[in-house]
Amino acid sequence: MQTILVTGGTGYIGSHTVVALLESGYKVVILDNLCNSSAKVVDRILKIAHPNAQLTFIEGDIRDTNKLDQLFKDHLFEGVIHFAGLKAVGQSVTHPITYYDNNVYGSLCLIQAMNTAKVKTIVFSSSATVYGEDAPVPYEESMPRGNTTNPYGTSKAMIEKILADQCIADNQWSVAQLRYFNPIGAHKSGLIGEDPKGIPNNLLPYITQVAIGKRKELSVFGVDYPTPDGTGIRDYIHVVDLAKGHLKALKKIQPTHNNPQEHRQGSGEHIWNLGTGQGYSVLEVICAFEKACGVIIPYATEPRRKGDLAAFWANANKARAELNWQAPLTLEHMVTDAWHWQQSNPQGYN
């Protein structure tokens, strides 16, 4: 049984990925400082996976180098899936040092501890934002990292570059840079889902909070984009499909002990888009939610949100070809599962 370290594993995407790992027979150790998640997630994960699933939760920060070194001494990890990071774009503009410290310095601490322990396999949570503001759509992995427009995006591009350079320096490193598009939805059990603190920044959590009566109406940011209905277009992906992509990527890049040749194939830097390849506008998402969930979402149109791009979506061919991974769950599944999670947990994990 292989053991995987999952940083940020009590968070939104991390928790769904931990379920997928446990269901596939991995042992999992979560390291999370709970700055944006709840320890209650751990019991929920076990409820879904199996009460006796091999899961250890350690509360701690990836910048705590002593803790990290001890962790790598205590466990024989076959690889790391690295979710831990701060993700609020707007906050990163007002608090850049906090973002670079947490995301970039934190990742460096992790990479250093991995190097010392000779654990050289990592799946990293990157983002479509690294393509920058001028990239043509759909985004393809062969495009260069572009002009990021905020410290959050820059921190992701920096971490990607650090990992890429490490692969050049040491050919035993295997790195999957997974560029997520817009993860939404929740596990179908309604036990785990997205639980934003305060006012949600993202579209779907805002919609579900309006639907449940926590917020009066949705603001639609920008109705004058050069898109068919004037609202922004994104590639929404079900978080459960996204989680499964991590397993496929991990398996692809993992060294096999008894086959060094295969190891060489998996080593190096690999970039994969994790999206569906299909874009939907804000109004289409509202419509899909109203239709699938039977709740009307009152909304007001507002000016464009600063820093938002008009439209982007993935070319998802590379992940399909190389990982044999696709995202079959539809927008209807995504909104239905998000609504089920919200209704089952009106106050999130509290």
Q: Is 208 in the site for ligand NAD (CB under 6 A)?
A: no
Give the strand pairing for 299-302 and 236-238.
unpaired
Residue 337: helix, strand or coil by DSSP? Answer: helix
Q: Is 35 in the site for ligand NAD (CB under 6 A)?
A: yes
Judged by beta carbon distances under 5 to 8 A according to partner kind, the member of ligand UDP, ligand NAD, none in contact with residue 10 is ligand NAD
- CB-count exposure of residue 214 (10 Å: 0-12, 13-18, 19+): middle
From 11, 60, 79, 232, residue interacting with ligand UDP (rule: CB under 6 A): 232
Judged by beta carbon distances under 5 to 8 A according to partner kind, the member of ligand NAD, ligand UDP, none in contact with residue 315 is none
Contact 84, 7 (CB under 8 A): yes
Taking CA atoms, 83 is separated from 29, 66, 111, 117, 178, in Å, by 13, 20, 13, 20, 11
# residues near ligand NAD by CB under 6 A:
28
Contact 155, 236 (CB under 8 A): no
Look up 152 and say whether it is catalytic.
Answer: yes
Judged by beta carbon distances under 5 to 8 A according to partner kind, the member of ligand NAD, ligand UDP, none in contact with residue 125 is ligand NAD
| Closest C-alpha to 231, from 122, 144, 134, 305 | 305
Q: Is 165 in the site for ligand UDP (CB under 6 A)?
A: no
From 27, 87, 120, 270, residue interacting with ligand NAD (rule: CB under 6 A): 87
Q: Is 12 in the site for ligand NAD (CB under 6 A)?
A: yes
Sole residue written with tokens 């994969």: 272
Closer CB to ligand NAD, residue 220 or residue 239? 239
Rg (CA), the chain: 19
Q: How far is the CB of 284 from ligand UDP (least distance, A)?
A: 11
d(CA 102, CA 84) in angstroms, rounded, equals 9
# residues near ligand UDP by CB under 6 A:
15
Q: Is 203 in the site for ligand NAD (CB under 6 A)?
A: no
Which residues participate in catalysis according to the annotation?
A: 152
Binding residues for ligand UDP, per CB under 6 A?
182, 201-203, 206, 218-222, 232, 234, 282, 305, 308
